[in-house]
Amino acid sequence: MKYRWIFVLAVLAALALSVLASGMEPERNRVHQHLEAAEKLPCTDHDASVFCTHLPLMEITTDGPVPAPFLQKGEAISGNIWAVAARNRNYEMVAATVRYFDSETENNHLGGQPDTEARAMFRIRGASSRNFDKKNYLLKFKEADMVRSLDVSLSGMAADDSWALHGPFLDKSLIRNYLCYNLAGEIMDYAPNVRFCELFLNGEYLGLYLLTEKVSYSGNGRIGFTETDPDLAVTSYILQVDRGASDSWYDLETFGSDSYLTRGKLRAGQGHIEVIYPGKTLTQSQRGYIISDFSRFEKALFSFDYNHPERGYRKYIDVPSFIDFFLINEFTLNYDAPGLSTYLYKDVSGKLKMCVWDFDAAFDYYLYSEITPETFRIHNALWFKYLFKDRAFVDQVVDRYSQLRKRFFSEEYLFQYIDETVAYLGPAIARNYEKWGYSFNSTFNGTSYDYLEPESRNVRSFDAAIQQIKDTITLRLEHMDSNLERLYTLCHESMNKRYNHVTEGGGA
């Protein structure tokens, strides 16, 4: 028996080595809904008047009117984006009853028995997306007293009280966030899990939505690390980089922002660091610890010793996490990151890691301007501007891209993933566009729905939206294959003399 176990372990070790040698990615425990959902037969026991879907189905009934967004139509594009975001935290919420249907073997109907029924607080969420007719929403599940939080598991995802409902409207393909979150989830240690569902709100069908985990700590899953203890100053933490919190208690001034080495180089209203976890229990000593701990990383990165093996930035961050964050956002042209929609997290005994969020504008669907696939941008933002001064970091970026190109960054993998996702959604696509199909028009009822400029970027059909993603992927990979190594210019001695001016003997 002893020798049998030795043989088994030897085989497993050999397999692991062969995977590493081949450059293949190890399999992660990531659920891809379109691949793992059971095929369901059409219903024969009701007529066409009964709403019937193979997807999970959510029904939300609010106790009163849904509070309107503060934003008026057009304000996010022409107005003060910073002010808009801060006000977002002051949204009123309405109590609601949520019924969630998710049969593994049969289609879902509103008249059936829900798999989950719970009370929640409910509101509109998002920044520029509040302009759109199809809104995004936030759910905060509550106990019956509507005070205590209630952790709820939906479609097998980690139980938590906080969930986002993303309603793709600008993204006519409907799949950008689903594709990119799952791609990131295969590459990085954690990316929010997602599930497609169809949504009814107060009896009105609102179409296809993407149920999304909020980036948070949960003892049941999501970001897993050592839970905070309010009696201790040292703590695990999650930070959000965005437009800042309305409550200054959670807004942090770190070494990078105080010295204008990060925030001052961004557009107004970006790059502000907010504490997400610990939340309401955040103490003065913990807040001070987080500022000090994060600033140690920034000081090391901005110093002359930035690449020193003991005193440099590598002591403080999980380098592969930063590299994967760079590559997934750079490949998808997701240039809201890292100044917006970006998370960092750190276990009390670990190193800083990065987490993705929000790919609604990926693959050249950015609202404010056209982004051609022949570009690089993230290398010049926030901490990456300084990370790319280190040749070893650039080496790892280039090597990692080469590894990912063999599978997850290949046209074959991505196009198959897209086609299989579209096939899985099936009739839900048509139902969604029975509701929102007018958004393909340049104008409808006197309102312009050409959000993108120039006008040619606005697709006129679902098929064209899917083709636009594929065409962008092809052009993007061609550009990265040919030009990624140009990033070596950023670490060349001629670019960084002031960082490398001390000789080994100590003279200048």
Per-position DSSP letters for 50-101, written without gaps between them: S--BSS-EEEEEESSPPPPPSPPTTHHHHS-HHHHHHHHTT---EEEEEEEE
C-alpha span between 191 and 114 (Å, rounded):
28
Cis (ω within 30 of 0) for the bond into 338? yes
136-142 and 342-346: which strand pairing? unpaired
Most confident of 234-248, 319-333, 379-393: 319-333
Tell me how crowded residue 479 is: count the other CB atoms within 10 A of its CB.
Answer: 15
Cα→Cα distances 79→132, 263, 411, Å? 15, 21, 39
pLDDT in tens, 112-166: 999 999 999 999 998 777 779 999 999 999 999 999 999 999 999 999 999 999 9
Where helices occur in 121-269 by DSSP H, the ranges are: 176-187, 255-258
Reported as a pLDDT band with limits 50, 70 and 90, residue 26 is low
Strand duo 272-277 + 251-252: pairing: antiparallel
Number of H helices, E strands in the chain: 13, 16
Going by their DSSP bridges, the two strands 204-213 and 221-222 should be labelled as unpaired
Who's near 380: CB < 8 A, 6+ residues apart?
Answer: none
pLDDT at 17 over 90: no
- pLDDT score for 492: 85
The residue with tokens 């006008």 is: 455
Task: Report the pLDDT value the prediction gives residue 85, as an integer from 0 to 100.
Answer: 39
What average pLDDT does the segment 45-69 reach?
93
- The stretch 389-404 carries a mean pLDDT of 97
Interatomic CA distance for residues 132 and 448, integer angstroms = 11
507 pLDDT above the threshold of 50: no
Query: Which tens digit of pLDDT belongs to each residue from 350-361?
Result: 999 999 999 999
Q: What is the pLDDT of residue 1?
A: 43
Max intra-chain CA distance, the chain: 86
Give me the DSSP letters along 15-55: HHHHHHHHTPPPP-----HHHHSPP-PPP-SS-TTS--BSS
Which of the residue ranges 25-39, 40-54, 325-339 would you say has the lowest mean pLDDT? 25-39
pTM of the model: 0.89
* 43-52, 363-372, 427-436: least confident range: 363-372
**Token pair listed for 318:** 């999980």
pLDDT at 419 over 70: yes
C-alpha span between 316 and 300 (Å, rounded): 9
Strands of the 342-346 sheet, one edge to the other: 251-252, 272-277, 237-242, 342-346, 353-355
Dist. CA 452–CA 158, nearest whole Å? 36
Per-residue exposure over 35-61, b if at least 16 CB sit within 10 Å of its own CB, e if not: eebeebeeeeeeeeeebbbbbbbbbbe
Q: How far apart are CA 193 and CA 210, in angstroms?
A: 10
Higher pLDDT pick, 374 / 33:
33
User: What integer is the mean pLDDT of 370-378?
Assistant: 86
Q: For residue 380, what pLDDT is reported?
A: 87
- Mean of the per-residue pLDDT values of the chain: 87
Tokens of 496: 């960084």
- The neighbouring-strand residues paired with 408 are none
CB neighbour list of residue 234: distance below 8 Å, 6 or more residues apart: 289, 348
Closest CA to 193 of 180, 207, 206: 180
Q: Residue 11 has what pLDDT?
A: 40
pLDDT at position 367 is 74
